[in-house]
């Protein structure tokens, strides 16, 4: 048996959304921010069917492009050292300035040269594009440890999952034997039991607590009660049907708001648009607009994720453009990543189709694709210049 990260994510997202769908139907709605939002059962069923349809389409697309592909791209140690330097530098920068911390709302009022450099470099994104293809296993493990510490220090508990996915991509195919099954079972049990501490670190980093304060707080409460709460929270991170159903039920309002320019269109995202919006006024994106609508306040520093289902629910006559855009994006991206990075490229893209695109984190997905192109052509130009010198 082979552990495929794309198939694993498919089952995780399908299971989590199915469970959330059951709760949505059973309760007649969902609770968020201290309020209960009623959702019609027909809306719940419609949102669920769209969710499952998208998850299946993504799996079929991956299966199609995973059949071929060039040999895996292999990067020499210098790329690993560069990645290590950037990751350490970014970690130090965040520790000194307090930037990048989840939910902090921190921003540089007068601008910062270092911040601009890191925004353009996208260190976390570079990890996904370089680490799976490093020739040196030792460098991979060192950079991975720094990356994990960096994300945890910024209050991102999802770093454990991201690192696990990158590991499966890098070492694919990871075959499950009797021995490795027990290793994975032990690792999984250890991570589950450590969830209260990981969750405590996440919130501790966001609120400025020390590690000793976090551990004391976790141990001073009912550990297994906290474990149950955190487990439910982790499972809920793989579903977004509640917010998708909310947008579907209020589709007329969101359609009108889009046409009024209250939030950006689906193609107006990514690093290029971010640079433009630093120089000019731009509306917020759908995720932030949805959070402000649901919460009843503007100027929030966090967002929610209605996902692609949310977009599908209110575009109406513009639906054909949305589907054409997404189909072209996925076809071109898969074809390029499979040819440029090999099978591992298809795996990497397939994973982030679920992690980013399905949830509607369009800017993050667009950046992955764009930087994937840039980085590959940078490597190829370097190799081409070297071959000319050798001739």
Going by C-alpha positions, the residue among 354, 356, 357 that lies closest to residue 12 is 354
Give how far the C-alpha of residue 383 lies from the chain's centroid of Cα atoms, to the nearest Å: 31
How many other CB atoms sit within 10 Å of the CB of residue 106? 12
Residue 172: phi, psi to the nearest 5? Answer: -60, 135
Pull the structure tokens for residue 64: 């199609």
Q: Is the pLDDT of residue 121 over 60?
A: yes
Query: Rounded CA gap, 148 and 164, in Å?
Result: 10
Which residues face 2 on adjacent strands?
Answer: 175
> What does the angle CA 220 – CA 226 – CA 231 come to, to the nearest 5 degrees?
155
What's the confidence (pLDDT) of residue 94?
84
What's the confidence (pLDDT) of residue 41?
95
Give the pLDDT confidence of 169-178 residue by residue, as tens digits: 999 888 888 7
Report the percentage of the chain scoring pLDDT > 90: 52
Going by C-alpha positions, the residue among 251, 325, 232 that lies closest to residue 46 is 251
Pull the structure tokens for residue 9: 């994510």
- 74's enclosing H/E stretch is none
Lowest mean pLDDT among 34-48, 57-71, 206-220: 206-220
Sign of the dihedral defined by the CA atoms of residues 8, 131, 308, 59, in that order:
negative
Burial of 240 (0-12, 13-18, 19+ CB in 10 A): buried
Residues 6+ apart with CB under 8 A from 118: 90, 93
Report the percentage of the chain scoring pLDDT > 70: 92
Tally of residues, the chain: 391
Q: What's the pTM value of the predicted model, to 2 decimals? A: 0.89
Provide the pLDDT confidence category of residue 190 given band limits of 50, 70 and 90. confident
What's the confidence (pLDDT) of residue 100?
63
User: Which ranges of the chain would DSSP assign to H, the alpha helix?
Assistant: 5-27, 41-65, 77-97, 113-121, 123-130, 137-153, 159-170, 178-193, 195-207, 211-219, 223-236, 241-249, 251-259, 271-279, 286-295, 307-314, 319-341, 343-352, 362-390
**Is 2 strand, coil or helix?**
strand
DSSP 71: S
Give the pLDDT confidence of 151-170 residue by residue, as tens digits: 888 877 778 889 999 999 99
What's the confidence (pLDDT) of residue 321?
95
Residue range 301-309: mean pLDDT, rounded: 89
Angle between the 123-130 and 77-97 helix axes, to the nearest 10 degrees?
Answer: 160
Give the pLDDT confidence of 74-87 residue by residue, as tens digits: 888 999 999 999 99
Map tokens 């590690």 to a residue.
211
What's the confidence (pLDDT) of residue 10?
96
Q: Is the pLDDT of residue 388 over 50?
A: no
Half-sphere exposure of 223 (CA within 13 A, CB side): 9
Query: Rounded CA gap, 321 and 317, in Å?
Result: 9
Residue range 79-103: mean pLDDT, rounded: 84
Query: For 18-37, b where at least 16 C-beta lie within 10 A, e where not — what string?
Result: eebbeebeeeebbeeeeeeb
Q: Is the pLDDT of residue 70 over 70?
A: no
């Amino acid at each position: 048996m082979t552990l495929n990260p794309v198939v694993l994510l498919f089952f995780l997202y399908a299971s989590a959304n199915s469970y959330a769908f059951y709760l949505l139907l059973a309760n007649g709605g969902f609770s968020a921010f201290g309020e209960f939002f009623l959702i019609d059962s027909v809306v719940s069923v419609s949102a669920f069917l769209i969710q499952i349809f998208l998850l299946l389409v993504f799996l079929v697309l991956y299966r199609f492009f995973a059949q071929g592909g060039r040999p895996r791209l292999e990067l020499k140690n210098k790329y690993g050292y560069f990645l290590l330097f950037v990751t350490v530098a970014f970690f130090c920068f965040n520790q000194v300035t307090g930037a990048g911390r989840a939910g902090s709302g921190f921003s540089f009022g007068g601008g910062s040269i270092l911040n601009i450099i890191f925004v353009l470099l996208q260190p976390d994104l570079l990890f996904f594009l370089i680490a799976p293809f490093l020739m040196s296993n030792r460098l991979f493990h060192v950079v991975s440890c720094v990356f994990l510490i960096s994300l945890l220090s910024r209050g991102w508990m999802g770093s454990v999952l991201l690192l696990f996915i990158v590991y499966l991509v890098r070492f694919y195919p990871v075959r499950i034997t009797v021995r490795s099954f027990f290793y994975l079972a032990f690792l999984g049990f250890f991570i589950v039991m450590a969830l209260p501490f990981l969750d405590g670190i996440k919130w501790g980093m966001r609120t400025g607590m020390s590690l000793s304060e976090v551990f004391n707080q976790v141990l001073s409460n009912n550990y297994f009660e906290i474990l149950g709460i955190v487990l439910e929270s982790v499972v809920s991170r793989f579903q977004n049907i509640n917010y998708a159903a909310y947008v579907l039920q209020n589709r007329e309002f969101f359609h009108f708001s889009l046409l009024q320019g209250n939030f950006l269109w689906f193609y107006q995202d990514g690093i290029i648009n971010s640079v433009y919006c630093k120089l000019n006024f731009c509306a917020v994106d759908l995720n932030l607009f949805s959070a402000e609508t649901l919460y009843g306040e503007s100027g929030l520093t966090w967002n929610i994720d209605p996902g692609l289902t949310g977009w599908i629910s209110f575009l109406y006559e513009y639906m054909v453009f949305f589907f054409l855009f997404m189909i072209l994006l996925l076809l071109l991206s898969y074809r390029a990543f499979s040819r440029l990075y090999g099978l591992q490229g298809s795996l990497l893209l397939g994973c982030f189709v679920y992690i980013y695109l399905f949830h509607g984190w369009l800017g993050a997905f667009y950046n992955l694709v764009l930087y994937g192109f840039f980085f590959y052509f940078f490597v190829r130009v370097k190799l081409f210049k070297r071959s000319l010198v050798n001739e």
